Amino acid sequence: MTEDATAWVLHVDLDQFIAAVEVLRRPELAGLPVIVGGRGDPTERAVVSTASYEARAFGVGSGMPLRIAARKVPDAVILPVDFPAYTAASEAVMATLRAQPGAVVQVLGWDEAFVGVHTIDPERYARDLQSAVLENTRLHCSVGIGDTLVRAKVATGFGKPRGVFRLTAANWLDVMGARPTIELWGVGTKVSRRLAAHGIATVTDLATADVSVLAAEFGPKMGPWYAQLGRGDGSAVVDDTPWVARGHSREVTFQQDLTERAEIEQAALDQLGQVLDDVAAEGRPVVGVGVKVRYAPFVTKTFTRKVAETSDRDAVIAAAMVLVDKIDPDRPIRLLGMRAEMAMPDDAREGHTPTRGGW
> Coil, strand, or helix at residue 338?
strand
- H/E element holding 159? helix 149-159
- If we measure between CA atoms, which residue out of 23, 94, 63, 84 comes closest to residue 240? 94
Amino acid at 142: S
* Rounded-to-integer distance, Cα 106 and Cα 173, Å: 26
Count CA atoms closer than 13 A to 292's CA, side-chain side: 17
| Catalytic annotation, pick one of 22, 54, 112, 341 | 112
Question: Is residue 112 annotated as a catalytic residue, yes or no?
Answer: yes
Residues forming beta bridges with residue 116, ordered by sequence position:
9, 104
For the chain, the straight-line distance linking the first and the last C-alpha, in angstroms and rounded, comes to: 41
* Rounded-to-integer distance, Cα 204 and Cα 218, Å: 18
Q: Which residues, including other chains, have CB under 8 Å from residue 327's CB and lie 6 or more apart?
A: 264, 291, 293, 333
Q: Which residues, including other chains, have CB under 8 Å from residue 112's CB and lie 6 or more apart?
A: 11, 12, 13, 14
Contact 340, 276 (CB under 8 A): yes
Residues identified as active-site? 112
